[in-house]
Amino acid sequence: MQSRSLSRRSVLASATVVAAGVTGLAAGAPAAAHGRDKRLRKIVGSMSLEAKVGQLFVPYFYGASATSPSEADQERNLRELGVRTVAELVAKYHLGGVILFSGWTNNIHDPRQVAELTNGVQRASLALPTPVPCLISIDQEHGANVRIGSGATQLPGAMALGAGGSLSDARTAGRISGTELAALGIHQNFAPVADVNVNPANPIINIRSFGADPGEVGRMVAAQVTGYQRAGVVACAKHFPGHGDTGQDSHTELPVITHTREEWDRVDAPPFRAAIAAGVDSIMTAHLQVPALDPSNDPATLSPTILQGVLRGELGFDGVIVTDALNMAGVRTKYGDDRVPVLALKAGADQLLFPPDIDVAYHAVLAAVRDGEITEERLDESVLRILRVKDKVGLLDGSPFTSPREVDRVVGARSHRIAADRIAERTTTLLVHEDRTLPLRRGQRKLLVVGASPAFPTDDTRSTVPELAAEFEALGFRTTHLVTGRTPDAAAIDAAVAAARGRDAVVVTTDNVGPASAQRTLVSRLLAAGVPVVHLAVRNPYDIAHLDGVRASLASYCWTEVELRAAARVISGRVDPRGTLPVPVQRADDPARVLFPAGHGLSYRR
């Protein structure tokens, strides 16, 4: 416990800040023209109370079709949501939005299917008594958090972009992603992450953050906000008031941020100030306690002091406040599922994301308004904010539908993929380079790729080691591969050492190496085998602190195809490594000391 505290504090002490100042209302906050607001208020005035309450909710649903999902998905919807289809869900609760997920909800298969799904949702929304299109949302952060994989352009995630250090690249990545999402009929992306990852043990933010320097994170966040919103997508800076210094996951418990008010102002606040200055349309709350901001110790999502006092009052944000998912344990530890949405709305939230029971949540808010606990004027404020962003992205003018032609033209476009590859190549970071191990020389054609092999975020049939081997094959190497996993046993390690014999070089991947990790033994045994070893950290750049004797080590900051392709090109010498660490790496034996500072990164040319 003491070493973790020292590590966290040492990073806090070394963080440099270039805060983006905000005077009065944020530049770009939706201070809409009088004429537009007058038109939107007329829409609000035409809504029933039930329709207004429905505008607040953004639930999940099962199925790849709005009206005819599979029988299994209909059964899941009926069991958990009380309806068979999302079209019925929209109609029953007058929904203002829905959120799409890959995998477990079966919402996403390929771009054309997604476009037809979003069109089906919009057809349902236009059939309501007050026909207001849905704001369809997604978590397409890229890197470790990807919802739309196959067919769409994959881009480097936040920490990789932080390693690249280019505001232009961050802005371009946001624009490409936003352009493709808009073509699919998705107009709200819960990105970018504005948390400052000053705790290497952070289990939930980590590589989803741009880095450990608040000023640099702020600049990258502002660039991404600009890229997304110029593409016609509502960006969302998250997770306010800052989730970067926690050792707990708010999905499973209620974390506590122990920063003083001064530390919060210096470390956590700058990226949110920068996002507001850039005109961000929405900000997502965090389910965590920050005693320095609110001594009541309510989760920030339910805290009027934090949402109204700090976010709206001090920071001047007048856009849409969206809760993090209301099914997470962090927001459910103190109050029941009928109280959480009511308290979130009273605290200042506008959009209520992913309630665990939509029927309970919807009727709880409806009852709170009818009973006077929440005034209809307060409800109207949130509905108006939501309508403003819908109007801004064009959902209230003309047709909210997309077309197969637009999907084919935009999603996964060749120019987008080329840009993504070039951006990724500028992010791969060379941490250790001794004995001229890299780049691999012309005679080193027989290659073994071995190690940890995380599954791709959107396709668990594909994983890192075989995909990295395939990238080397495409570059002319003769590769074999062996997956040993995050916890290799003695047999797996022996097999890896045996496979290394006769190879010209070994590339070993690691994923979250710790002091007791068997991955350390794997790397040590491979180093002793007498074959040149290249280490690639495919998640955290902190792995190298636990790997003694490595002569060539790189960080890719994620394991998706675009990052693996870039890493293979760097290792093979097709491109020079240009990335630099956006976080410091502490020594494993003395976490109060820095092994590699932020900004460290080597090149073959120097």
The pLDDT tens digits for 67-108 are 999 999 999 999 999 999 999 999 999 999 999 999 899 999
pLDDT at 585 over 50: yes
- Cis omega before residue 192 (within 30°)? yes
Helix axes of 86-93 and 358-370: crossing angle, nearest 10 degrees: 10
Report the distance separating Cα 214 and Cα 194, nearest Å: 9
Report the distance separating Cα 451 and Cα 536, nearest Å: 9
Question: To the nearest whole number, what is the mean pLDDT of the chain?
Answer: 93
CB 518 within 8 A of CB 488: yes
Using only C-alpha atoms, the chain has a radius of gyration, in whole angstroms, of 24
CB count, 10 Å around CB of 13?
9
Distances (CA, A) of 396 to 52, 58, 125: 16, 18, 12
pLDDT at 26 over 50: no
Strand residues in 361-416 grouped as ranges (E): none
pLDDT digits (tens, 9 = 90+) for 520-550: 999 999 999 999 999 999 999 999 999 999 9
Which pair of structure tokens corresponds to residue 45? Answer: 């005035």
pLDDT recorded at residue 297: 86
CB 106 within 8 A of CB 63: yes
pLDDT bracket for residue 402 (50, 70, 90): very high
- Over range 566-570, report the average pLDDT: 98
Please state whether beta strands 459-463 and 455-456 pair in parallel, antiparallel, or not at all (unpaired). antiparallel
pLDDT bracket for residue 458 (50, 70, 90): confident
pLDDT recorded at residue 33: 63
CB 520 within 8 A of CB 509: no
pLDDT recorded at residue 460: 80
Q: Which of 37, 109, 139, 251 is catalytic?
A: 251
pLDDT recorded at residue 203: 85
Closest to 73 measured CA to CA, from 83, 264, 447: 83
Which pair of structure tokens corresponds to residue 83? Answer: 């309806």
CB 223 within 8 A of CB 280: no
pLDDT recorded at residue 11: 41
Report the distance separating Cα 149 and Cα 109, nearest Å: 9
Residue 94: active-site member: no
Q: Which of 169, 281, 294, 324 is catalytic?
A: 324
pLDDT recorded at residue 30: 45
Report the distance separating Cα 50 and Cα 124, nearest Å: 16
pLDDT at 4 over 60: no
Question: What global pTM score does this model have?
Answer: 0.93
Report the distance separating Cα 364 and Cα 337, nearest Å: 9
Report the distance separating Cα 135 and Cα 97, nearest Å: 5
Residue 324: active-site member: yes
Which pair of structure tokens corresponds to residue 318? Answer: 């007048």
Higher pLDDT pick, 253 / 133: 133
Residue 423 burial class via C-beta count within 10 angstroms: exposed 0-12, middle 13-18, buried 19 and up: buried
pLDDT at 19 over 60: no
- Over range 13-37, report the average pLDDT: 46
pLDDT digits (tens, 9 = 90+) for 348-359: 999 999 999 999
Report the distance separating Cα 368 and Cα 387, nearest Å: 22
Report the distance separating Cα 24 and Cα 20, nearest Å: 13
pLDDT at 247 over 90: no
103 torsion bin: left (phi>0), alpha (psi -120 to 50), beta (else) = left
CB count, 10 Å around CB of 375?
11
- Over range 127-135, report the average pLDDT: 97
Higher pLDDT pick, 2 / 334: 334
pLDDT recorded at residue 606: 63
pLDDT digits (tens, 9 = 90+) for 283-322: 999 999 999 999 998 999 999 999 999 999 999 999 999 9
pLDDT recorded at residue 1: 33
Report the distance separating Cα 358 and Cα 352, nearest Å: 10
Which pair of structure tokens corresponds to residue 571? Answer: 């290792």
For the chain, domains (ranges, CATH) are 49-410 (3.20.20.300), 428-596 (3.40.50.1700)
Helix axes of 86-93 and 111-126: crossing angle, nearest 10 degrees: 30
Closest to 122 measured CA to CA, from 184, 52, 57: 184
